[in-house]
Structure 1
């Protein structure tokens, strides 16, 4: 049984700020967004969480292990160093997408993302120590099979990007609709998914769907742990097993204590 703690990071009043008192240079905005993401990743990552950039003005983090004080400190740190502030909504659920729905509802209830009076909202609850278990977080790390040989060394960069993104978009939609998982492109040919309690057959099903729909072949390593960092590292090691053994799905440990056969 998973229990994901998801935090929605939303820049306050960002749209109006980008054009006040007049439109700002696009590369200045891109620089601010990338630096903000880097600082969020460093802060949350140092506490064993993960952050994903999504649309940059909105970012999603899996924050199992971070409490209210951590979230307040993050807001204070960003507010002291940037011309914008951030609001944070947190939700907890066995289904990652339901946890994100709760986190989103908390911020939406406090006001619009473009409400000039809404600043540094902190909403939602946090998993306490006694509530946490060693199977709260399931992280899947997907990798495209031979992306360098098939795409990078054969096509121009934009066409390679299209191929990888088509695979990502297909996987992202399928895992969200079929399992309530959240998937994020993290560069190169890598995709990280925050998943509910899925087994090897579920992952094989998703991989087969992506190959049939987008023509992109994937493999995946899966980690299960109390926090995102540990689960993510276990997923990376499981993915290395895929590479060395020629398998398609590898789990670092059985789901819910039940041994499930892999490829």
Structure 2
């Protein structure tokens, strides 16, 4: 059974900050957001987690293996490196959607994202070391079939982007509603989903739905482990098996790494 530790990282008072004392240049804001995400990704990734940019002012991370002290260091690093601070909330559940919901509720209970008095909140529970297993995190790596041949080499870049985004949006919506899972676009034609304990039929269902809804054909590799990075590497190897064998769904052998491995 999955037991996913999901962490919400939210920039404090960001909207008002972007226009105080006058509106800031968009190019500067975009640069800061991308650098902040890169730093968060590295800080979490150095501890075997995964971070996703979401809307950039809100980032979602899978942090199995990190405790509250680790998250406090991430928070402190943001405050030391940037002109903004961040609040962090974490929750654990077999459903990634439920975990993110609880984490979100805790930050909302602490005050509005645009409340200037709400600064560097750190709330929630992490998965105790004694409760960790090699199956806590299931990661699925989705890829569009022949995206280069169908889109990149045939359409202009913006039309290609529209087709890929249509597939991602439909997958994101359906995986959340039907399978309690969180999906994130990670560039190119790739989507990584943080999943509940799904099986082959569940993934075939999602692939069939996206194909019928928006005519985008997907394949997926799935990995499961005690930490996000190991599960993600398993998913990448399983996706290569899909490419080699022409299959739609492949699972990696598990566990990819023991839960207590660094």
TM class by shorter chain equals over 0.9
Residue by residue over 1:229-258, the C-alpha shift from the partner in whole angstroms, topping out at 9 and shown as x without a partner, is 000000000000000011100011479xxx
Q: Deviations over 1:19-73 (max 9, x none)?
A: 0000000000000000000000000011110011110001100100111111111
Runs of 4 or more off by more than 3 Å in structure 1? none
Report the equivalent of 1:4. Answer: 4
* Partner SS for 1:204: helix
Give ranges in structure 2 of 5+ residues lacking alignment.
Answer: 256-262
Q: Distance in 1 between matches of 2:133 and 2:73?
A: 25
Structure 1 runs not aligned, ≥5 long:
256-263
Q: Count how many residue pairs are aligned between Structure 1 and Structure 2.
A: 255
Q: Does 2:63 correspond to 1:63?
A: yes
Q: Determine helix, strand or coil for the equivalent of 1:191.
A: strand
Render the CA deviation track for 1:216-239: whole Å, top value 9, x for unaligned: 000000000000000000000000
TM-score by length of 1: 0.96
Root mean square deviation of aligned Cα = 0.9
Tell me the distance in 1 between the aligned counterparts of 2:115 and 2:253. 46
Q: Whole-Å Cα distance in 1 between the matches of residues 254 and 214 of structure 2?
A: 29
Residue of structure 1 equivalent to 2:88: 88
Q: Give the aligned partner of residue 217 of structure 2.
A: 217
Q: TM-score when scaled to structure 2? A: 0.96
User: What is the CA deviation profile of residues 160-198 of structure 1, one whole-angstrom value per residue up to 9, with x for unaligned ones?
Assistant: 000000000111000100011000000000000000010
Contact 2:234 2:253 in 1 (8 A): no
Whether 2:79 is the aligned partner of 1:103: answer no
CA contact (8 A) 2:112 2:118 kept: yes
Aligned-partner Cα distance in 2 for 1:84–1:188: 30
For the 8 Å contact 2:220–2:250, the answer to whether it is kept is yes
Q: Which residue of 2 aligns with 1:258?
A: none
Equivalent position of 1:246 in the other structure: 246
